A = this chain, B = another copy of it.
Amino acid sequence: MNTRPLTELPVWQALEQHAADMARPENHLKRLIQTEDRINAFSLNRSGMFYDFSRQRVSAKTMDLLFELAGERKIQETFLAMINGETVNTTENRAALHTAARDFTRPSLMVDDMDVIPEIKRVLTEIEDFTRAVHNGDITGSTGKTFKHVVVIGIGGSYLGTAFVANALRAYADKGVTLHFLANVDIHNFGAIADTIDPAATLWIVVSKSFTTAETMANANQARKFMEARGLNPADHFVAVTSKGSPGDVPGETAAFPVIRAFHMFDFIGGRYSVSSAVGGVPLSLYLGFDRFKAFLEGAHEMDVYTQNTAPEENIPMIAALISIWNNNCLGYPAQAIIPYASPLSKLAPHIQQLYMESNGKSVTADGHPVPVNTGIIIFGEPGTNAQHSFFQLAHQGNPFPIDFIGIINTQYPDYNGKSKGVTNHQELWANLISQPRALAEGKDGDTPHRSFSGNRPSSTIILNSLQPKSIGRLLAFYEARTVYEAFIWGINPFDQFGVELGKKLANEIRGQMAAANEDPGHTFDGVDPISKFYLEMLMK
């Protein structure tokens, strides 16, 4: 990875100068998009994805400079190094191999003297076998009931990716299984699920690499007591997704935490990149069927292969990453919205929010020097057209932010074709999808200042043919690749997350104070900082 300060690079300086040029009135988007072939010149249709960046504030020169930047920073070389198992996660001395989790063609890949491919295949086969046994009724709960409720106990990377894919493909969940997510340690999360499930027909999946994550283990223990109180044997109702050798990797009744089975996850796949591993594999196979999970992996793999083999000029994730850098660092936008015109993608923005902000919310390069420009931006979003009726007032007339619009050609519900005003609901949705990027780009002079639109607000439009497992895999891999490409341009490590450690450490101290007060009602919080002490007394009084 190239970590030389970006601002020292001639191409970076050229980009900054060029940004001033692109801010001139003759380069307002309303002028740029008037050109008849703008859409053809600034779009790509590759690997099952149509990507339109015609309404970004870029010219041919912008793209040339950005491609030069990509070359200078060797981001394609770093991407290949990642895929080939090199130690790209340098601060933690690890590979980053989420792409290997969906590579069914590679015969072997050595990492630290271990061939990871057979390991990954073994886990996949275990998932397939377990899924079949649950769906067949060969594996049941303590009372012989088949499992109808699956509760995923996991937080962050052990939750959001799976929730995104499960929501996206909910229309195909034909296995009679309802999927629940117990992520938050908040007892309300547990209580709401406990109110809903049939315990005798419930399988709990505890997802934690170390099997020590505070929130996850608190919830797992709560669930275990809940099941025991109902005369159900935890060894019949829990599985683990965890590291080899963790406290959860001990099937059978005699374990500290009894489970039916443990599925391995690997330290070369980070949490926020883990939906392609057993983390997503076990719950998604139970919910959708193993074949659909496998098709999801295949779609992601197709995007990986395309991405790694394609020159910058034709490379959708790379272009998206370069434009994101341009918008953030050269044009100064502090955030980006993801607006899928598809309700099933309602969990896409929260997942990418995690993926991107945890990967790229860093201030120092991989080798420890301050990054001289802004790194990760804020990602947020809601489905369209909902977002139009929520925060799009600000998008049109407030401080601008770039948007990824996402559209789908074919719906999961082709049979609901009733028309209003001469169009189907799906066409109504598309009428808006077509119009919003145009309104943002063009703007309009109004009769009054309140009805005027400055325009020049950038967006991309991504079109998928359908919401099938494969296309969801492609979409995931697109955002994963875009995220790491941006990191490679800044020279930061997108695979560590030391920023969460200080809060954890302080929470450990506070937890110790609470536990002491639980044991001894006379415990005082001496020595605790004044504000924490104030709150400890408020809660524990």
Residue A377 lies at the interface, judged by CB distance under 8 Å to chain B:
yes
Residue A341 lies at the interface, judged by CB distance under 8 Å to chain B:
yes
Please state if B426 and A186 are interface contacts (CB–CB under 8 Å): yes
Please state if A361 and B395 are interface contacts (CB–CB under 8 Å): yes
The one of B368, B431, B446, B510 in contact with A448, judged by C-beta atoms closer than 8 angstroms, is B368
Q: For residues 50 through 96 of chain A, which have their beta carbon under 8 Å from a beta carbon of chain B? A: 50, 52, 54-55, 91
Q: For residues 413 through 456 of chain A, which have their beta carbon under 8 Å from a beta carbon of chain B? A: 413, 416, 418-436, 438-440, 443-444, 446, 448-454
Residue A251 lies at the interface, judged by CB distance under 8 Å to chain B:
no
Residue A246 lies at the interface, judged by CB distance under 8 Å to chain B:
no
The one of B380, B427, B451 in contact with A498, judged by C-beta atoms closer than 8 angstroms, is B451
Q: Say whether, besides A398-B357, A409-B538, A191 and B416 are in contact (CB < 8 Å).
A: yes
| Chain B: CB-nearest residue to A413 | B191
- Report Cα–Cα, A431/B36, bound state, in Å: 59
Residue A483 lies at the interface, judged by CB distance under 8 Å to chain B:
no
Q: For residues 492 through 541 of chain A, which have their beta carbon under 8 Å from a beta carbon of chain B? A: 493, 496-503, 506-512, 514-516, 518-519, 529-532, 534-536, 538-540
A107-129 to B contact mask, C-beta < 8 Å, 1/0: 00000000000000000000000
The one of B195, B343, B431, B515 in contact with A423, judged by C-beta atoms closer than 8 angstroms, is B515
List, in ascending order, chain B residues with CB within 8 A of A380's CB. 353, 378, 380
Please state if A439 and B396 are interface contacts (CB–CB under 8 Å): no
List, in ascending order, chain B residues with CB within 8 A of A502's CB. 396, 439, 443-444, 453
- Report Cα–Cα, A421/B369, bound state, in Å: 38
Please state if A396 and B511 are interface contacts (CB–CB under 8 Å): no
Cross-chain pairs A/B with CB under 8 angstroms, 14 sampled: A33-B531, A155-B385, A171-B191, A190-B413, A191-B411, A225-B418, A357-B391, A357-B393, A378-B391, A409-B539, A430-B535, A431-B507, A431-B510, A440-B503
| Chain B: CB-nearest residue to A529 | B438
Please state if A91 and B450 are interface contacts (CB–CB under 8 Å): yes
Please state if B418 and A221 are interface contacts (CB–CB under 8 Å): yes
Main secondary structure of the interface of A (DSSP, over half): helix
Residue A192 lies at the interface, judged by CB distance under 8 Å to chain B:
yes
Residue A44 lies at the interface, judged by CB distance under 8 Å to chain B:
no
Q: How far is the CB of A414 from chain B (nearest CB, A)?
A: 9
Please state if B432 and A507 are interface contacts (CB–CB under 8 Å): yes
| Chain B: CB-nearest residue to A444 | B502
